Chains A and B, each alone.
Chain A
Amino acid sequence: MRIRIAGARVLGGQAQDIEIADGRLAEPGSAGRPDLTVDADGLIALPGLVDMHVHLREPGREDAETVETGSRAAARGGFTAVLAMANTQPTADTAGVVEQVWRLGRESGWTQVQPIGAVTAGLEGTRLAELGAMARSAAGVRIFSDDGHCVSDPLLMRRALEYVKGFDGMIAQHAQEPRLTEGAQMNEGVVSAELGLPGWPAAAEEAIIARDVLLAQHVGARLHICHVSTAGSVEIIRWAKSRGARITAEVTPHHLILTDDLVRSYDPVYKVNPPLRTAEDAAALRQAVLDGTIDVIATDHAPHPAEHKCCEWTAAAMGMVGMETALAVVRLAMREEEGFGWDQVARLMSRNPARIAGLPGQGHGFEPGAHANIVLVDPGAPHTIDPADSASLGRNNPFAGTEVDTAVHSTFLYGHPVVLDGELQAPHPASKEDTWPL
Chain B
Amino acid sequence: MALTSLLSASDLDRRTAVELLDLAEEMATVAGREVKKLPALRGRTVVNLFFEDSTRTRISFEAAAKRLSADVINFAAKGSSVSKGESLQDTAQTLAAMGVDGVVVRHPGSGAPHRLAQAGWLEAPIINAGDGTHEHPTQALLDAFTLRRVLHGEPASGAAGTGADGKDLAGATVMIVGDVLHSRVARSNVRTLHTLGASVVLVAPATLLPWGVESWPCQVRYDLDEAIAEFAPDAVMMLRIQLERMHQAFFPNAREYTRLWGLSAARLHALPADAWVMHPGPMNRGVEISAAAADSPRALVLDQVANGVAVRMATLYHLLTGEDSH
- The residues of A with any CB-CB pair to B shorter than 8 Å are 185, 188-199, 201, 265-267, 307-308, 310-315
Contact = CB atoms under 8 A, between A and B. Distances in A.
A155 B213 CA distance: 37
Contacts of B110: 185, 195-197, 266, 313-314
A315 B81 contact: yes
A194 B211 CA distance: 10
A192 B132 contact: no
B184 interface: yes
Interface stretch (B58-66, B114-122, B251-259): B114-122
A195 B134 contact: yes
Given A188-B211, A189-B212, A192-B210, A311 B111 contact: no
Interface in B61-88: 80-82, 87-88
Interface residues of B, number: 29
Given A310-B119, A315-B81, A197 B111 contact: yes
A50 B135 CA distance: 44
B112 A193 contact: no
7 contacts: A192-B211, A193-B212, A267-B118, A310-B89, A312-B80, A313-B115, A314-B110
Given A193-B211, A194-B216, A313-B109, 16 more contacts: A189-B211, A190-B215, A192-B210, A193-B212, A193-B215, A196-B184, A198-B133, A311-B89, A312-B88, A312-B109, A312-B115, A313-B111, A313-B115, A314-B110, A315-B80, A315-B88
Given A266-B115, A307-B82, A314 B216 contact: no
Interface of B: 80-82, 87-89, 107-112, 114-115, 118-119, 131-135, 184, 187, 210-213, 215-216
Contacts of A315: 80-82, 88, 109
A197 B131 CA distance: 10
B82 A308 contact: yes
A310 B88 CA distance: 8
A190 B210 CA distance: 8
Contacts of A199: 210-211
Nearest to B214: A190
B209 to A, nearest CB: 9
Nearest to A263: B111
A311 B80 CA distance: 9
A314 B115 CA distance: 11
Nearest to B89: A310
Contacts of A266: 110-112, 114-115, 118
A311 B211 contact: no
Contacts of B184: 196
10 tightest A-B CB contacts, nearest first = A314-B109, A196-B134, A266-B111, A315-B81, A193-B210, A190-B212, A196-B133, A312-B112, A193-B212, A196-B110
Nearest to A314: B109
